């Protein structure tokens, strides 16, 4: 295709926002989260935006790609992304089978931010939403979203400057910064999230307490929300034996379970999850053992999973939609995993999910924990547990550069130790000498 606008400028802007002390297998979220933005301008005067994970290595990589982007037609976006990908050798990453957060950057496709920005420009040029430009085009007008629940540590026990919203008039904003380490507190969190966003289904991030205690929380959620689809994600913290014991009698509670166990005894996470499925009969989802096409292939061959959470930040937007097409053809299910993000990534998720083929599962998003820190003056919202994807051209967002520069100023203000994600820092305030162990829930030492 010829005659489309030319990219004349590319800015890479690292940004930061505030977070809660959300707990996972890898520790506790720091008081700040970081992201990298890509902002493109074409010679027609349009602006295209993209967002991806934070970290200085990702910032540097994006800056190095400028020469492959500037001066090229936006309609040639596939060739641009292919050229970027060809500059890398084959990855030696194991994905995130053991959830080593320091290796997350090896899984993240930083060029997704460029792809999103190019598609944003192309959509504006063609007066089409991005979802119409992906795969087989737009598949749905509404995207269902999970209520993503977390155990939350006591921020008052650490001297790191976590944000406090106890004076907020909004019940959800108050709850999301409040300690939650019991079933009752998590259920309270779920009610507040449902009231604010209308969620019909919930996911609990596990890998924090003993497995039996986390199952108590899951049962409490099901008792309070009997019509909800409930699932849990311990990030592979349980052994195969423990996972089978915990989950075998939970078919009436759990709709599916995400990464209940992982590599052990010389066997890969794919082999172990295959054994788990045979033993329990429960559907399994993953964002840890199928993060690229080779892992995807082996996961399918071993019948290890039913739902692949193809985060576009890991797969690219086009790659994620392509995964949905394959999954649909093979009678499997597409979903989406997330990390802490701003509203540009929310738009990336929404547009990708709107184009995903088949009967997809409700997608993850951390955005509810960052809501109120938006970088766009116009964007998407979650109402009645869904995101409406209308026909606004491009990603459907309007960047607010004043807010972007405020987030960039925060990034430059905070200590550099926060620029790359480190969930061990806060944990070492709680448990002296704490170190990550992929087979021990973070509060079990």
| CATH classification of the domain holding 82 | 3.30.390.10
Q: Nearest Cα to 237, choosing from 117, 314, 151? A: 151
Which residue is associated with the tokens 């423990």? 242
Residue-wise over 34-45: b if at least 16 C-beta within 10 A, else e?
A: bbbbbbbbbeee
Residue 219: pLDDT band with limits 50, 70, 90: very high
| CB of 151 closer than 8 Å to CB of 205 | yes
Beta bridge partners of 399: 376
What CATH number does the domain containing 334 carry? 3.20.20.120
* 85 and 156 in a common domain: no
Which of 91-95's residues contact partners 24+ apart within 8 Å by CB, and which partners?
A: 91/292, 93/291, 95/288, 95/289, 95/290, 95/291, 95/292, 95/295
The pLDDT of residue 105: 55
Instruction: Spell out the alpha helix ranges (H) of 87-180.
Output: 104-107, 112-126, 171-175
* 197 and 314 together in one domain: yes
Is 195 contained in some domain?
A: yes
Half-sphere exposure at residue 138, Cβ-oriented, CA atoms within 13 angstroms: 20
Domain that holds residue 409: 7-132+401-413
CA 262, 263, 264, 270 dihedral sign is: positive
- Whether the predicted pLDDT of 341 surpasses 80: yes
Percent of the chain clearing pLDDT 90 (strictly above): 93
Q: Is the same domain home to 98 and 228? A: no
Query: Does the pLDDT of residue 372 top 80, yes or no?
Result: yes
| Residues belonging to the active site | 205, 337
Residue 1 confidence (pLDDT): 43
pLDDT at 109: 85
Q: Could you tell me if 34 and 102 lie in one domain?
A: yes
Same domain? 385 vs 407 = no
Question: Does residue 437 lie in a domain region?
Answer: no
d(CA 123, CA 105): 28
Q: Quick check: 43 and 6 in contact, CB under 8 A?
A: yes
| DSSP three-state, residue 144 | strand
Q: Are residues 218 and 126 in the same domain?
A: no
Torsion of CA 374, 308, 208, 232, to 10 degrees: 100
Average pLDDT rounded to a whole number, residues 383-398: 98
Together in a domain, 142 and 251: yes
As a whole number, the mean pLDDT across the chain is: 94
**Does the pLDDT at position 275 exceed 60?**
yes
Whole-number pLDDT of residue 3: 87
Selection from 227, 309, 241 nearest residue 280 by Cα: 241
Looking at per-residue pLDDT, the higher value among 105 and 9 belongs to 9
Confidence of residue 108 (pLDDT cuts 50, 70, 90): confident
Calculate helix-pair angle for 240-247, 269-280, nearest 10 degrees. 30
Distance, in Å, from the CA atom of 173 to the CA atom of 166, rounded to the nearest integer, reads: 8
Tokens at 324, concatenated: 């949905």
Predicted local confidence at residue 425, as pLDDT: 93
pTM over 0.85: yes
172 and 122 housed in the same domain: no
> What is the mean pLDDT of the segment spanning 94-113?
68
Measured between its terminal Cα atoms, the distance across the chain in Å is 59
**Does 425 map to a domain?**
no
Share of the chain above pLDDT 70, in %: 95
Which tens digits make up the pLDDT trace of 182-217?
999 999 999 999 999 999 999 999 999 999 999 999
What pLDDT score was predicted for residue 245? 98
What's the pLDDT band for 23 if we cut at 50, 70, 90?
Answer: very high
**pLDDT tens readout for residues 25-79:** 999 999 999 999 999 999 999 999 999 999 999 999 999 999 999 999 999 999 9
Compute the average pLDDT of residues 386-408.
Answer: 98
Residue from 43, 49, 40, 4 nearest 394 by CA: 49
Note whether 23 and 164 are same-domain residues: no
| Nearest by Cα to 284 from 255, 313, 323 | 255
Residue range 276-303: average pLDDT? 95
Please count the structural domains in the chain: 2
């Amino acid at each position: 295709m010829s005659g489309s606008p030319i990219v004349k400028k590319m800015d890479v802007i690292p940004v930061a926002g505030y977070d809660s002390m959300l707990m996972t297998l890898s520790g506790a979220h720091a008081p700040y989260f970081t992201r990298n933005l890509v902002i493109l301008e074409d010679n027609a005067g349009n602006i295209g935006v993209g967002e991806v994970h934070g970290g200085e290595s990702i910032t540097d990589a994006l800056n190095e790609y400028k020469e492959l982007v500037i001066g090229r037609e936006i309609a040639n976006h596939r060739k641009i992304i292919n050229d970027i990908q060809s500059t890398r050798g084959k990855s030696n990453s194991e994905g995130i089978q053991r959830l080593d957060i320091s290796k997350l950057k090896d899984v993240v496709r930083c060029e997704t931010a460029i792809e999103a920005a190019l598609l944003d420009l192309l959509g504006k040029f063609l007066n089409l939403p991005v979802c119409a430009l992906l795969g087989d085009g737009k598949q749905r007008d509404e995207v269902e979203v999970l209520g993503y629940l977390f155990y939350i540590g006591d921020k008052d026990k650490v001297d790191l400057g976590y944000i406090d919203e106890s004076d907020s008039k909004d019940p959800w904003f108050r709850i999301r910064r409040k300690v939650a380490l019991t079933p009752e507190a998590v259920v309270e969190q779920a009610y507040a999230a449902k009231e604010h966003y209308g969620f019909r289904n919930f996911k609990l991030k596990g890998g924090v307490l003993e497995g039996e205690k986390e199952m108590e929380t899951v049962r409490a959620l099901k008792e309070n929300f009997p019509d909800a689809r409930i699932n849990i994600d311990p990030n592979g913290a349980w052994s195969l034996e423990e996972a089978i014991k915990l989950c075998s009698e939970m078919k009436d509670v759990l709709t599916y379970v995400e990464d209940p166990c992982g590599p052990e005894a010389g066997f890969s996470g794919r082999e172990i999850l295959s054994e788990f499925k045979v033993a329990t009969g429960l559907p399994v989802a993953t964002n840890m053992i199928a993060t690229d096409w080779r892992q995807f292939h082996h996961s399918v061959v071993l019948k290890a999973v039913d739902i692949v959470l193809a985060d576009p930040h890991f797969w690219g937007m086009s790659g994620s939609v392509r995964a949905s097409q394959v999954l649909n053809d093979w009678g499997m299910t597409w979903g989406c995993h997330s990390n802490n993000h701003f509203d540009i990534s929310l738009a990336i998720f929404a547009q990708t999910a709107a184009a995903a083929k088949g009967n997809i599962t409700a997608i993850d998003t951390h955005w509810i924990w960052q809501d109120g820190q938006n970088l766009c003056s116009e964007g998407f919202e979650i109402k009645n547990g869904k995101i409406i994807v209308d026909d606004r051209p491009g990603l459907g967002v309007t960047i607010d550069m004043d807010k972007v520069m405020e987030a960039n100023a925060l990034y430059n203000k905070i200590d550099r130790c926060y620029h790359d994600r480190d969930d061990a820092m806060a944990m070492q305030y709680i448990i002296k000498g704490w170190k990550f162990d992929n087979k021990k829930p973070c509060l079990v030492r």
